[in-house]
Structure 1
């Protein structure tokens, strides 16, 4: 098996509850990322790999074969996609980031994958971006919202994976009215979606919750490149990655004259 250094724990269904990973994820992940236990168990069965740092360092990485990723990346079938990388801001943070990236690389090499991929935004986490460069990641593609696809080729030659560019079309295909699109089953995501849709219904708007339940659906239909939830109004993307009910509702009222 791929080696795991002593300062890293492999998280799996048998040790999930006693590992402390669920509380670690909730504390470190962005609001759109944090999901429920059942969702995580289901994703682990699909091939998701989770590694966490041993104390005193606090951090984790989630990566998955491209065939099972929810990220909208095309041509990633022979790749491993890093879906989340979070390390607490403390002494030794760069060491933790580097260790977690190397674990993902070792796993990918062991199972014969060609590329490691991660999606980042301009300005996100300078320390992580610096460590990615040190480990020979390069920018492969860019798309809407300053989102970049970084990758490290492990073996080749290969056709490089790319990011979709059809975001206007994806949003338009969701149709008229107010649509909240989401994946996963995190309580916070569902509560936020229902609050916004309830406001829309009370104002007489056509509303719909477009829940994506499979990774292949997400890769093809997600209307925002790096969000677990987004908001579309009459085919136009109005909220993505950490959207606020209050801010989005103000924008809806402005556009609809409510």
Structure 2
């Protein structure tokens, strides 16, 4: 996070100070990310900070402004080159989220029924169903999730999602682990035998780096594939057919 400020005081002692901050979505908590500072009146002054880690989403990034002088102050504060950039790290703990609008906060969805129960996300569908999160232009990412098969044959995580019919996915499909490409039709890019236990938690890690795709379960890489169709997109979880799944902690780790 970076920006520039320039203080143009007209009247008063110029004792106006600023502090960068972020606001947490669910609690509304304000977190200052730097010390209070009096902007320069001689020209542009650079500011930067790293958005702090946390399990709550950030819904506001900005600067707090405070005047602490004794005289009446008049003037202008110019803001320029406001940027939020760099590799992101998203952590979602379902117990801190809220069920709303047919899904869960921080997600958008297509089909299926998504609820919260016992601090986890419960998804079930009679056809196929998806939930997505993260930003649309994420490129090289690892999507991690705590996944339980409850019923049905398909429990997947997705990456580089560009729409309901364009994405990569990896996870359980029957008694296999697979990596697939969806392009208004399904192409299986890699598969290997794996018989998951119903109700058991497995730690998924689906990585997409350039045109290399890999999928690991409980820290062990099981399959890899190569495909360069999609360069970017959102991330999420998916049921490709009728069934039910339970999802715990989700992480989306971007690399530069």
Scaled by the length of structure 1, what TM-score is found?
A: 0.26
* Bigger fraction of residues in strand: 2
The structure with the largest alpha-carbon Rg is: 2
* Bigger fraction of residues in helix: 1
Scaled by the length of structure 2, what TM-score is found?
A: 0.26
